[in-house]
Every structure is written in structure tokens, then in C-alpha cells.
């Protein structure tokens, strides 16, 4: 069996080293699937690597049903932190935490392919502690060290369970913060955003343009490059 016939040893959904090299050279980052800490780590690392190479624009392609809000925050903050301009392109569907990442880019840099659907719905954004994921060896080691610390810190009295009302309060604070972000990103009033995100608020690409979420619908990468010259 020659090298071309050998099966890949990469985990499913993982970009191979060769493909990653091509993506880095093309200055492209792909955020596809449920947003969790693993995806956020990879996306943020790629963004910072590209930012360290030069200040040329970075292209982020998003198709996501949403996920863990703090993981979305991590990518959102990274996009706004780095120096290069970040151009986002949506495809498939962009929902909840995916939409949060999408609006991290300046409005004039937010593009959508024609068949994309958007969903603003805060109930689909998962607070910390409610997201499941595959635990890595590093994660397990960190969790065990933390458990040992907690055990030694509470020898006399174990910590009280999280109060339900406190959890609800923190969730409401999170939703209010995200609503403010979407209001600022779209130009809609905070009252309208709050009302719209209280239920399944679906938008086509055309409706997302009218709403202020999307700058322009495109069908080809050439349309972006011609405008950014």
C-alpha cells in the first residue's frame, strides 16, 4: 500500500496538517459545527497565528447551529482583539452562538452566501456547565487537579450546590449582554432585539441584510476581493 492509499489517522472532523498549512497560507479559518471549547481553542489559535504573520485580511467561514456561549465569547473577543481585518462569510445556517461570532466582524465585513439561514434565539445558547464534550487527557488532568484543590479547600465543609435562582440570574445577565451586542451590531433597538431573541427568530439571507445583520449577499469570493482592493 503506497502513501496515497493509507488511511488517515486524523480524528473525524479534524483538519490534516497539510490542509491546515493550505488554510494558513490562504488566511482562512473555518468554524463549522457546534461551538465548544475545542473548536474555540483551534479557531483562536489560528486567528492569532495569522495575525502574527502579517496584517492582511483574515477570512472566517461560519456554519454553526450554536453551542457553548463562553466558547463563542472566546472567538468573538479574538476577532476583535487582533489587528488584521476579519471578513466573515456565512453558509448553511448561523444560529445563536454562531451568530454571536458572526457579528464580531465590522458590519462592512459581514457577508453571506445566498442560501444561508440565520437564527437569533438566546435559549439555544448554552451557558457554562451545560455543554457536553469529549474530554481530552489534558482536560482530565486539569479537572483532577482542580478537584484535589477543592477537596483540600473544603475539608471541614463541602461547597454548597449552585443555587437555582443564582443560575437563572447569571443566565439572564448573559442574555442581556448578548442582546446589547446584537443591538449594537445590527442597529436595531435593544427592545426589538430582546423581543426577537425571546423566540425562534429565523431570517433568510435577504432578511438578515434588511435587519442589519449582514452587509451583503455574495455568490463568489471574487466579489469580496474586488471590493477590498
CA distance 68 to 96: 10
CA distance 4 to 112: 36
CA distance 106 to 179: 17
37, 117, 121, 204: the catalytic one is: 121
The grid cell for 214 is 449582514
DSSP state, residue 14 = P
64, 71, 96, 112: the catalytic one is: 96
Q: If you count them, how many residues does the chain have?
A: 229
Check if 121 is active-site: yes
The grid cell for 119 is 437564527
CA distance 9 to 19: 14
DSSP-H helix ranges across 54-187: 69-81, 97-102, 137-153, 164-186
Asked if residue 89 lies in contact with residue 122, where contact means CB atoms within 8 angstroms, the answer is: no
Check if 96 is active-site: yes
39 φ, ψ to 5°?
Answer: -60, -45
The grid cell for 198 is 425571546
Helix axes of 69-81 and 164-186: crossing angle, nearest 10 degrees: 40
Catalytic annotation, residues: 96, 121
Amino acid at each position: 500500500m503506497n502513501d496515497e492509499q493509507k488511511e488517515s489517522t486524523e480524528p473525524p472532523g479534524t483538519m490534516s496538517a497539510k490542509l491546515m498549512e493550505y488554510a494558513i497560507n490562504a488566511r482562512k479559518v473555518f468554524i463549522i459545527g457546534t461551538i465548544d471549547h475545542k473548536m474555540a481553542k483551534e479557531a483562536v489559535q489560528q486567528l492569532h497565528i495569522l495575525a502574527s504573520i502579517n496584517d492582511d485580511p483574515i477570512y472566517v467561514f461560519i456554519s454553526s447551529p450554536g453551542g457553548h456561549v463562553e466558547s463563542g465569547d472566546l472567538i468573538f473577543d479574538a476577532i476583535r482583539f487582533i489587528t488584521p481585518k476579519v471578513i466573515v462569510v456565512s453558509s448553511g445556517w448561523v444560529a445563536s452562538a454562531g451568530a454571536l461570532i458572526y457579528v464580531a466582524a465590522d458590519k462592512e465585513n459581514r457577508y453571506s452566501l445566498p442560501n444561508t439561514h440565520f437564527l437569533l434565539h438566546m435559549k439555544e445558547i448554552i451557558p457554562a456547565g451545560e455543554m457536553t464534550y469529549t474530554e481530552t487527557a489534558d482536560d482530565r488532568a486539569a479537572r483532577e487537579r482542580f478537584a484535589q484543590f477543592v477537596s483540600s479547600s473544603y475539608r471541614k465543609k463541602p461547597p454548597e450546590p449552585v443555587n437555582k435562582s443564582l443560575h437563572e440570574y447569571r443566565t439572564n445577565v448573559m442574555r442581556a449582554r448578548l442582546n446589547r451586542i446584537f443591538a449594537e451590531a445590527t442597529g436595531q433597538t435593544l427592545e426589538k432585539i430582546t423581543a426577537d431573541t425571546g423566540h425562534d427568530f429565523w431570517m433568510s439571507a435577504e432578511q438578515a441584510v434588511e435587519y442589519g445583520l449582514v452587509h451583503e449577499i455574495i455568490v463568489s469570493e471574487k466579489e469580496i476581493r474586488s471590493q477590498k482592493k
